[in-house]
Chains A and B, each alone.
Chain A
Amino acid sequence: AQSVSQHNHHVILSEAASLELGCNYSYGGTVNLFWYVQYPGQHLQLLLKYFSGDPLVKGIKGFEAEFIKSKFSFNLRKPSVQWSDTAEYFCAVNRDFGNEKLTFGTGTRLTIIP
């Protein structure tokens, strides 16, 4: 069974700082990779996704993520964070077999200080 690790449980940054949140997965086959964001009081929203092709994917609100197959990683980045980025971020993976359940990491709580 696949698993997902997010090593940063709580990250605190000042506005305009750069962000990188780590995500590693364990599964030997082909996977689809996702980052979801949950703003305070809101539901899970898709931030970006990777299926195949260019390993650097861009999502909404200036976020991007890079798939490094050799490291089983899919880290999320943003060059300059804003206070409105305060949220919980979840990395998720499913097997590339059509409709497959998502396996989530434990989430990273991001707090941006104005």
Chain B
Amino acid sequence: GAGVSQSPSNKVTEKGKDVELRCDPISGHTALYWYRQSLGQGLEFLIYFQGNSAPDKSGLPSDRFSAERTGGSVSTLTIQRTQQEDSAVYLCASSPSPTQYFGPGTRLLVL
């Protein structure tokens, strides 16, 4: 069956611009997670959705980061006023609990 998909696969943006990253979870998975993978920080949790609500946002690094999920399916991670330190691979995972299945990620480069 189809796995977790993410788009775009690569994104290059200029410092100060806003970006939106999209995640399509595996059909039927109610839990959805965003993580960030960067050289200096490894794999870090950002936010968790159960259905359309986000009971755990503890990993969002600043108020420039936000995320939403609609229809219990697609999720969008938005980064406003991007900074060079936001450059990383942003990973999405979905889960029927407790195992999480990861998408291919979006590689973000902020120039």
Contacts and interface: CB of A to CB of B under 8 A. Distances in A.
Interface residues of B, number: 23
What's the dominant secondary structure at chain B's contact region? strand
A106 B38 CA distance: 11
B70 interface: no
Contact of B99 (A42, A49, A105): A49
Nearest to A92: B43
Contacts of B104: 42-43
Interface string A13-42: 000000000000000000010101000001
Nearest to B101: A46
B1 interface: no
A32 B98 contact: yes
Give the interface centre of B35, B95, B98 by most chain A CB atoms within 10 Å: B98
Given A43-B102, A43-B103, 13 more contacts: A32-B98, A42-B104, A43-B105, A44-B91, A94-B98, A99-B31, A99-B50, A99-B95, A101-B45, A102-B33, A102-B43, A103-B45, A107-B42
